[in-house]
Amino acid sequence: MTTTASRETTPRGTRGLTGRTAVVTGGAQGIGAAVVERLCAEGCRVLVYDKSAEHGESAVARWRGQGHAVALAVGDVTDADALAAAFSGLPADWPTPTLLVNLAAGFVFKGIEATASDWHAALDPTIIGLSLATREFVSRLPERDADAAIVNMASISAHIAQSGYLTYNTGKSAVLGFTRCVAQDLAPRGIRVNSVSPGTVWNANNERYHKEALGLDRATAEAAPEHGGKFLLGRFADPAEVAAPIAFLLSGEASFVTGADLPVDGGYLAV
């Protein structure tokens, strides 16, 4: 009875995101920025938690200039005190956050030669930071009927083996396990937990890599069988194409989806 009443608080035919507060870790650039833009467009208030003050301040100023309710907290996801301060420092008139998108991660690409330092750089943000951000978010929610949702960033690399990617793939594989376990633990509280697994996304970092390391622009890279050609759709994703499924998983339209991973990979994992 209680659960049904809770579901009915979201009007039928709406996404149920308008007026809600979302927290996006790693939200200042790339996919994270696209997620913030999408949630703003859906009518959310958004806290951007990012370790880059430079990128964060620039992005938040732009969004505020567009009339969106966006706040910035600068910090590392592995810093529990900084996370607590970020949640405590939200504007007083904002509702308690009920949406969380965990995007911050360690981007370290090493094989068996990886040192302890490499492993910490790869896994501390991806798994420890993920767990700390999730714990802080959940600690502020009611014990029952929270009507909340979490989306974690995995990757196609969580599902396959890739030479020289041991550190990265291990971290993203752990995100899948974390998502399933936390979904089970939090379901009785009305908190859904899912993940997405994108393929290659054409963001600033990938554009720089393809141009500087490979001498390829986007069109040439997408035409190459070993790059864009490895996806069934024959191209890379735009950040907004990953943000849209994330918004869906956060919304009331995904009210019966939890413990799942959604590939956003242009068909890569299908073959």
Neighbouring C-beta atoms of residue 40, cutoff 10 Å: 19
Q: Which two tokens stand for residue 140?
A: 């502020």
Per the residue annotation, which of 49, 165, 168, 209 is the catalytic one? 168
Q: Which of 147, 131, 228 is nearest to 182 (CA)?
A: 131
Give pairs for 175-179: CB < 8 Å, separation 24+. Answer: 175/126, 175/127, 175/130, 176/261, 178/127, 178/130, 178/131, 178/152, 179/152, 179/154, 179/259, 179/261
Q: How many angstroms separate the Cα of 86 from the Cα of each of 30, 48, 51, 189?
A: 21, 9, 12, 23
168 is catalytic: yes
Q: Which two tokens stand for residue 268?
A: 């890569």
Q: Which of 242, 134, 245 is nearest to 191 (CA)?
A: 134
* Helix, strand, or coil (residue 59): helix
Q: Which residues are catalytic?
A: 168
